[in-house]
Amino acid sequence: MQTNASVVSFRSVEKSFGALKVLDGVDFEVARGEVLVIIGRSGSGKSTALRCIDRFETIDSGEIVVCGHRVSDPKLDLRRLRQDVGIVFQSYNLFPHLTIEENITLAPCAVKRISKAEAKRKARQVLAQVGLEDKLNSYPEQLSGGQQQRAAIARSLAMQPKVMLFDEVTSALDPELTGEVLKVIETLAADGMTMVMVTHEMGFAKGIANQVVFMHRGKVREAGPASILTSPATSELAQFVGTGL
């Protein structure tokens, strides 16, 4: 069972899409303030695992506990779970017809029912956190891809989540813009935010991860500290990081 210090706990999690088993007995645990990075080839199950954390996908068996919520429980209060979990996708998912400020204040007002004035104050604060305080009144189309992704991170932060999920957030960006987004994530890690990330950025993973989970064909093939990326124990991970080629 989940310990007091753990924020995310996977126990023997199974998930299939039709005949394809995408998660095959997955186990891992993320402690408060930790950064867990999930890596693996396309189709290895890493994004599915991430999406199960806030029940964008439902599991077939096993147990997931997130911030004290039993995610697999049919009676789960989804609204309360998603107040505790922020997720940022590869596509920024900003509303094009709303300003950046409006994009950020929407959920705190609707879900947390805080006042408009308080939501605006929070929007300014989180935009300052990601270096975009001057873009408050801009529309998404007026921002670069990197700025839009940082605004999407700010939107999640405005809900004051206990854990943040990042699903390949830099894969659509060029290297320069990737750097500015990763810098924001580094700052969040330094501030003690609990995070689960799916990424192909191996250099970044080495620098930020407390734990690395390498998924292969739906299973956790290898897991441990970031040092497993430089000293893999399995041929599959060695091949994946390029040391076994």
Q: What is the mean pLDDT of residues 130-154?
A: 93
Residue 111 has pLDDT above 90, yes or no: no
Q: What is the mean pLDDT of residues 92-112?
A: 91
pLDDT grade, residue 243 (50/70/90)? low
Residue length of the chain: 245
Q: What is the domain class of 1-31+38-76+211-245 according to CATH?
A: alpha beta
How large a percentage of the chain has pLDDT more than 90?
75
- pLDDT of res. 40: 94
Token pair for 198:
């799916």
Q: Tell me the pLDDT tens digit for each residue of 24-66.
A: 999 999 999 999 999 999 999 999 999 999 999 999 999 999 9
- pLDDT of res. 2: 46
Residue 23 dihedral angles phi and psi, to the nearest 5°: -125, 125
Which residues have a Cβ under 8 Å from the Cβ of 128 and sit 6 or more positions away? none
Residue at 103: amino acid letter = N
- pLDDT of res. 117: 93
Residue 180 has pLDDT above 80, yes or no: yes
How large a percentage of the chain has pLDDT more than 70?
97
- Could you tell me if 10 and 27 are in contact, meaning their C-beta atoms sit under 8 angstroms apart? yes
Token pair for 164:
């943040």
Calculate the CA 13 to chain-centre distance: 18
Q: Catalogue the E-assigned strands of the chain.
A: 6-17, 20-31, 35-39, 61-66, 69-70, 85-88, 163-167, 194-198, 211-216, 219-224
Residue 1 has pLDDT above 60, yes or no: no
Distance of alpha carbon 38 from alpha carbon 26, whole angstroms: 12
Token pair for 188:
């969040």
Residue 116 has pLDDT above 70, yes or no: yes
